[in-house]
């Protein structure tokens, strides 16, 4: 089947999705001072209203937890309560999601389960389970296959009730994320736009055309910003002097650079996915006890196998 359709890539795509969202962080773009409730950040896309966030000063190494009252725009959030201290841009201050007050660090979403879990607040492991349910869905080469993963969430049992509630909150966040990402992103190519993509136009403007070509409808393309998305475009032409990609149809609405507008090529397309079940329990890893949640997920894709096939078992 080859690396192009491997379950390993599916695991890597899931790791990327969970890390970017559950452990989302964004730098401040304006100094935030004690008493402030209106905060300017680079990108609010992965933040959620009513959730806990943590302010982190990477230079001075101090932190402060807060609750988001509202997401105002791509670059602005309001806090439920005022800041108690200053967080300065030059000190590399950031805001990070902290679901139930627990931070998911960069090294805490892992490929494969573990006998011993790293000593972090929260650890998530992605375990490949199976590739099966092969089925021809249309003639001359449309082969459907299903990949199954187990997503395990572990929180140390230092505080029994806190660990239980933390596991439930993280599993709820994972389920919400997966229900909103039925077509899981796997090895996609993405690039930010350099100009707004306006409704009634049939092109997008990119900083570089390297790797973007008219490909005879071999890939689907999407346009997205922080507020909405349009899908199923094809590239019909490339205009090098203007650095423009010409699309097969008119864009239906505006996509703004200030809202992080981007152009995406889907390399692997999952036409369906779902959570089959979720289980909770207590487990020992090494010498440490953990509260754990286990989510079983599957996703289906269709690959092209061309006929007639040159046999590999003959004399040639």
Instruction: State pLDDT tens for residues 46-90.
Output: 999 999 999 999 887 789 999 999 999 999 999 999 999 999 999
Closest CA relative to residue 256, chosen from 203, 191, 200, 194: 194
pTM for this prediction: 0.88
Farthest CA pair distance, the chain: 80
What architecture (CATH level 2) is domain 109-185+277-304? 2-Layer Sandwich (3.30)
Domains 109-185+277-304 and 189-266 share a fold: no
Half-sphere exposure of 96 (CA within 13 A, CB side): 21
| Domain 189-266 = CATH 2.40.30 | yes
Domain coordinates of the chain in residue numbers? 24-101, 109-185+277-304, 189-266
Return phi, psi of residue 309, to 5°.
-105, 135
How many whole angstroms separate alpha carbon 219 and alpha carbon 207?
20
Predicted confidence (pLDDT) per residue in 252-309, tens digit = 999 999 999 999 998 888 999 999 999 999 999 988 899 999 999 999 998 878 777 7
Structure tokens at 79: 């806090």
Structure tokens at 97: 């999601």
What architecture (CATH level 2) is domain 24-101? Beta Barrel (2.40)
């Amino acid at each position: 089947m080859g690396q192009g359709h491997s379950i390993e890539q599916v695991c890597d795509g899931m790791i990327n999705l969970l890390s970017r969202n559950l452990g989302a962080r964004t730098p401040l773009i304006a100094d935030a001072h004690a008493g402030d409730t209106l905060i300017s950040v680079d990108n609010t896309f992965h933040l959620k209203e009513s959730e806990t966030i943590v302010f982190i000063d990477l230079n001075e190494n101090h932190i402060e937890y807060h609750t988001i009252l509202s997401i105002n725009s791509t670059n602005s959030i309001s806090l439920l309560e005022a800041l108690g201290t200053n967080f300065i841009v030059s000190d590399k201050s950031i805001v990070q999601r902290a679901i139930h007050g627990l931070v998911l660090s960069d090294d805490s979403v892992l490929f494969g389960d573990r006998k011993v879990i790293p000593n972090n607040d929260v650890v998530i492991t992605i375990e490949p389970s199976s590739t099966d349910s092969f089925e021809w869905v249309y003639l001359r080469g449309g082969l459907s296959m299903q990949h199954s993963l187990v997503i395990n969430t572990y929180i140390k049992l230092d505080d029994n009730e806190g660990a239980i509630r933390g596991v439930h909150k993280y599993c709820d966040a994972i389920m919400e994320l997966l229900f909103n990402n039925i077509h899981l992103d796997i090895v996609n190519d993405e690039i930010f736009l350099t100009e707004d993509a306006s409704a009634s136009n049939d092109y997008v403007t990119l900083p570089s055309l390297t790797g973007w070509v008219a490909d005879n409808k071999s890939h689907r393309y999407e346009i997205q910003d922080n507020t909405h998305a349009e899908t199923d475009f094809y590239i019909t032409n490339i205009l090098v002097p203007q650095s423009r990609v010409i699309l097969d149809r008119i864009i239906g609405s505006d996509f703004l650079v200030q809202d992080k507008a981007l152009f995406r090529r889907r390399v692997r397309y999952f036409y369906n996915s779902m959570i089959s079940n979720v289980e909770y329990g207590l487990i020992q890893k090494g010498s440490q006890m953990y509260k754990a949640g286990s989510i079983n997920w599957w996703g289906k894709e269709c690959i092209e196998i061309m006929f007639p096939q040159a046999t590999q078992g003959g004399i040639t």
